[in-house]
Amino acid sequence: RYFGAAVAAGKLGDSVYTGILDREFNSVTAENEMKWDATEPQQNQFNFTNADRIANYAAANGKLLRGHTLLWHSQQPGWAQALSGTALRNAAINHVTRVAGQYRGRIHSWDVVNEAFADGTSGGRRDSNLQRTGNDWIEAAFRAARAADPAAKLCYNDYNTDGINAKSTGIYTMVRDFKARGVPIDCVGLQSHLTNGPPGDYQANLQRFANLGVDVQITELDIPQGSNQAKAYAHVTRACLAAARCNGITAWGARDSGYWPGNGNPLLFDRSGNKKAA
């Protein structure tokens, strides 16, 4: 199992920050630098400068590297937002192929697709320009990612899926279908932005995904400071340790300062870089 933090390339020059990373974490996720707007600002013109800063930091310091994220409805470059239909589908698959190929062999796990399911009770897909290219866009992305980087674990990642609810069940059904049809998927990421702490069925939800034959990773954990922050972190950690296929926990940042969107003090280290009770 690994224990990780989301990191920002712009903070890697801060020795208090990197001190925490070096000492406490053995995995990092790029908070923004591997997203579509960052890596392909103009169509077919790739820029890996900031993504490389994180990848090189990981390699130089013996950290696993999580890739976040190949396709998402948000943080798309303007040119992609303006596309639709076959042109968008082809651009999206090209993006997956090129970015996963760029980091081939260096990524422990890729969030191939992020946040493609709708909130609420439908259990269905979120409407987006990608979804409107056809319901098979997710499996097309996973197949392209597997071809580009066969060693990386390929993950579907989402939020508000931490307990058993309509949204997590929609994803569960998709993963079961992918496994049955041989679509390459290796893991499910539960973001776990746990505003109200973990739901009572958190562990049962982890376990039901594991039982489908995929790994489960807690990918963006944060829990606002206040009553029971430490207990809630302990609950999440115990749930992961108890599920055989929960192979990693990533907090959505290392310390409270610089946390996006800036408040809540939801991380494990305070603004001065000291360990909190959690």
**Distance of alpha carbon 90 from the chain centroid:** 23
Cβ 162 vs Cβ 197: under 8 Å:
no
| Binds ligand G3I by CB under 6 A, chosen from 26, 32, 94, 225 | 32
Smallest distance, Å, CB 252 to ligand G3I?
6
Examine the residue annotation and report whether 139 is marked as an active-site residue of this protein: no
90 scored as a contact of ligand G3I (CB under 6 A): no
Minimum separation from the CB atom of position 180 to ligand G3I (A): 28
Residue 165 CB neighbours (<10 A): 17
Question: For residue 208, which phi and psi values (nearest 5 degrees)?
Answer: -70, -35
Per rule CB under 6 A, is residue 31 in the interface with ligand G3I?
yes
Q: Which of 42, 44, 75, 84 binds ligand G3I (CB under 6 A)?
A: 75
CB of 95 to ligand G3I, least distance (A): 16
Number of residues lying near ligand G3I (CB under 6 A): 10
Cα dihedral: 71, 180, 162, 203 (round 10): -140
Can you state the percent helix, strand and coil of the chain, rounding each to 5?
40, 20, 40
CB of 21 to ligand G3I, least distance (A): 16
Closer CB to ligand G3I, residue 220 or residue 256? 220
Strands 27-30 and 246-251: unpaired
* 92-108 burial: b if 16+ Cβ within 10 Å, else e: bbebbbbbbebbeebbb
**Which value, in Å, is the radius of gyration of the alpha carbons in the chain?**
18
For ligand G3I, the closer CB: 186 or 220: 220
Q: Per CB under 6 A, does 74 bind ligand G3I?
A: yes
Nearer to ligand G3I, 31 or 149 (CB): 31
Q: Could you tell me the CA-to-CA distances from 184 to 124, 142, 210, 262 in Å, in that order?
A: 21, 6, 15, 37
Catalytic option among 31, 33, 40, 115: 115
Instruction: Kindly tell me which residue out of 33, 149, 186, 220 binds ligand G3I, with binding defined by CB under 6 A.
Output: 220
Contact code string over 226-255 relative to ligand G3I, x by CB under 6 A: ------------------------------
Find the residue with minimal CB distance to ligand G3I. 260
Rule CB under 6 A: choose which of 19, 204, 226, 260 binds ligand G3I.
260
Site for ligand G3I, residues 164 to 193, rule: CB under 6 A:
191, 193
Structural contact between residues 105 and 64, judged by C-beta atoms closer than 8 angstroms: no
The tokens of 273 are what? Answer: 């870089």
Rounded least distance, CB 99 to ligand G3I, Å: 15
Gap between the Cα atoms of 3 and 138, Å rounded:
27
Q: Which residue numbers are catalytic?
A: 115, 220
Residues in the site for ligand G3I, rule: CB under 6 A?
Answer: 31-32, 74-75, 114, 159, 191, 193, 220, 260
